């Protein structure tokens, strides 16, 4: 079916489209003006019986897919955690798809395996992690976190791998988090047979940080009740407000009781490559595992999440299982299938390698510093504006705030701010999301896109005030 030159032709069309897209990502609505079901309705009910010309497919991509896409590359995407893909990494993705290796064994792609070892070593060093730790790439922080908790469960010595958790008497296994911990930890507890009720919410302080003294109390009480503390999850940069748990004092408790400490730094951990922000990871060398997401704040396209572990053998003990057809003659090589549920693995290190080299550590630091400075500036604008308030500390590039004209109760303020956010998002010019902080509804403005400029943040602030004025 492929005629001579078809591949080149298709790539040229796609490259032209991508180049054009990145010239003006701001010309799209950030959040598309579509209703649920619109895309399904625009597509045929069944797959085509015969092949179609590439140009026809690409035209439908432009006509159906692009207008129904939420444009994460838009410089005024401020929702959740803003991210973006560096062109060099997009090109690397095309190369990885071209090689199309399944990097489960060293021999099924020596380059993918060893490039992962090297790039994880580079990233670990940039983050100031102990050189003896091992980095492994997963698709997401959720799966990296699940993997760390599975390793924690394996280290308990309860023979769960062999005997399972049913049909015999086992003590309750406990996982310690806070109200601010990302929901993947609870999902991991469900999947690992720990159970939601054994996910313990340790009280937080006034700045939403886990209280180490309260953690100790929870663990002591559980021990006295015959329960087994399995893991503590500390968060550096919570998803809601970017609060930072005191890793060093939490680690001291973890050590005292011999409990696995996992540090979830999916978003904020990347900032530790900036010397003045290295303190974010203070004490992490006392933990057992750490997750950071290059796909969140390091310009690597989805998906690329790095799990670093003190003792990689704990992960292998949890997951290594080698059927005959995958036995391999090489000794002393890494076979990444031993480190998780997945067998075939994508060549994710390639795009990370391209980004680290194309930007250099300096280039990445410069971008992050720029994002943090813009967020600080925005917070100052909010603070200085009568009737507006900042609702949480903002050490990094996320600001939580609201419009709070006097004389309204919490319910009225929630309704007002939800309406403001809806109105802002409906303009298609900017996109924000929300959270609740100690019961208060807050709008979140997260900066993390390569293409976000000061003028974009100014424009967002203009739109916010304009829409607020219409609503009060």
Ligand X SMILES: *Cc1c(COP(=O)(O)O)cnc(C)c1O
Tell me the three-class secondary structure of 251-316, residue by residue: HHHHHHHCCEEEEECCCHHHHHHCHHHHHHHCCHHHCCEEEECHHHHCCCCCCCEEEEECCHHHHH
Contact 343, 104 (CB under 8 A): yes
Among 69, 305, 397, 452, binds ligand X (CB under 6 A): 305
Question: Residue 141 or 352: which CB sits closer to ligand X?
Answer: 141
Instruction: Quote the least distance from Cβ 82 to ligand X, whole Å.
Output: 11
Instruction: Quote the least distance from Cβ 184 to ligand X, whole Å.
Output: 6
241 counts as binding ligand X under rule CB under 6 A: no
Q: Which own/partner contact pairs does 37-42 have at CB distance under 8 Å and 24+ positions apart?
A: 38/68, 39/64, 39/65, 39/68
Contact 76, 463 (CB under 8 A): no
Size of interface with ligand X, in residues (CB under 6 A): 16
Listing from the earlier edge strand, what are the strands of the sheet with 305-309? 134-138, 305-309, 289-292, 260-264, 228-235, 173-177, 199-201
Instruction: Quote the least distance from Cβ 458 to ligand X, whole Å.
Output: 26
Instruction: Quote the least distance from Cβ 177 to ligand X, whole Å.
Output: 11
CA distance 86 to 299: 5
The residue count for the chain? 472
Question: Residue 201 or 408: which CB sits closer to ligand X?
Answer: 201
Instruction: Quote the least distance from Cβ 204 to ligand X, whole Å.
Output: 15
Binding segment (CB under 6 A) for ligand X, from list 167-175, 233-241, 323-331, 451-459: 233-241
Q: Cα dist. 129→120, 263, 314 in Å?
A: 11, 12, 18
Question: Residue 238 or 417: which CB sits closer to ligand X?
Answer: 238
Binding segment (CB under 6 A) for ligand X, from list 45-53, 100-108, 205-213, 259-267: 259-267
Is residue 302 packed enough to be buried (19+ CB in 10 Å), middle (13-18) or exposed (0-12)? middle
199 counts as binding ligand X under rule CB under 6 A: no
Instruction: Quote the least distance from Cβ 415 to ligand X, whole Å.
Output: 27
Residue (of 192, 129, 232) closest to 318 by Cα position? 192
267 counts as binding ligand X under rule CB under 6 A: yes
182 counts as binding ligand X under rule CB under 6 A: yes
Taking residue 388's Cβ as centre, other Cβ atoms within 10 Å add up to 18
Q: Does an H or E element contain 71, and which?
A: none
146 counts as binding ligand X under rule CB under 6 A: no
Residues 124-143 that bind ligand X (CB under 6 A): 140-142
Instruction: Quote the least distance from Cβ 140 to ligand X, whole Å.
Output: 3
Among 26, 264, 338, 467, binds ligand X (CB under 6 A): 264
73 counts as binding ligand X under rule CB under 6 A: no
Among 184, 262, 351, 367, binds ligand X (CB under 6 A): 184
Name the site residues for ligand X (rule: CB under 6 A). 81, 140-142, 182, 184, 235, 237-239, 264, 266-267, 293, 296, 305
């Amino acid at each position: 079916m492929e005629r001579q030159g078809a591949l080149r032709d298709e790539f040229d069309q796609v490259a032209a489209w991508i180049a054009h897209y990145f010239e003006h990502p701001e010309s799209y609505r950030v959040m598309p003006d579509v209703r649920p079901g619109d895309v399904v309705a625009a597509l045929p009910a069944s797959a085509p019986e015969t092949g179609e010309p590439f140009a026809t497919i690409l035209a439908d991509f432009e006509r159906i897919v692009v207008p129904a896409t939420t444009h994460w590359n838009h410089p005024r995407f401020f929702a959740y955690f803003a991210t973006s893909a560096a062109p060099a990494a997009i090109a690397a993705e095309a190369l990885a798809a071209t090689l199309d290796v399944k990097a489960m064994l060293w021999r099924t792609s020596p380059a993918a395996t060893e490039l992962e070892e090297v790039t994880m070593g580079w990233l670990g060093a940039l983050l100031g992690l102990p050189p003896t730790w091992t980095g492994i790439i997963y698709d997401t922080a959720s799966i990296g976190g699940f993997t760390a908790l599975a390793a924690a469960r394996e280290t308990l010595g309860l023979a769960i791998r062999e005997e399972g958790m049913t049909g015999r008497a086992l003590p309750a296994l406990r996982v310690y988090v806070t109200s601010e911990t990302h929901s993947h930890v609870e999902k991991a507890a469900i999947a690992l047979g720990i159970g939601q009720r054994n996910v313990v919410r340790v009280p937080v302080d006034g700045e939403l940080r886990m209280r180490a003294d309260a953690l100790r109390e929870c663990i002591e009480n559980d021990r006295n009740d015959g329960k087994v503390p399995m893991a503590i999850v500390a968060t550096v940069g919570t998803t809601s407000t970017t609060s930072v748990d005191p890793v060093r004092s939490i680690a001291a408790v973890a050590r005292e009781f011999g409990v696995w400490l996992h540090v979830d730094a999916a978003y904020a951990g990347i900032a530790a490559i900036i010397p003045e922000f290295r303190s974010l990871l203070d004490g992490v060398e006392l933990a057992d595992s750490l997750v950071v997401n290059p796909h969140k704040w390091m310009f690597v396209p989805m998906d690329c999440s790095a799990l670093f572990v003190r003792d990689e053998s704990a992960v292998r003990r949890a997951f290594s299982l080698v059927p005959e057809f995958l036995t391999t003659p090489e000794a002393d090589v890494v076979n990444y299938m031993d480190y998780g549920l997945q067998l075939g693995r994508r060549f994710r290190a390639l795009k990370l390698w391209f980004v680290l080299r194309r930007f250099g550590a300096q280039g990445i630091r410069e971008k992050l510093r720029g994002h943090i400075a813009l967020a600080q500036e925005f917070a100052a604008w909010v603070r200085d504006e009568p009737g507006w308030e900042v609702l949480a500390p903002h050490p990094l590039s996320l600001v939580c705030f609201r419009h709070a004209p006097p004389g309204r109760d919490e319910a009225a303020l929630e309704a007002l701010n939800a309406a403001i956010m809806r109105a802002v998002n409906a303009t298609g010019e900017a996109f924000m999301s929300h959270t609740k902080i100690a019961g208060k509804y807050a709008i979140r403005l997260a900066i993390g896109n390569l293409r976000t400029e000061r003028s974009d943040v100014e424009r967002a602030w203009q739109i916010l005030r304009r829409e607020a004025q219409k609503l009060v």
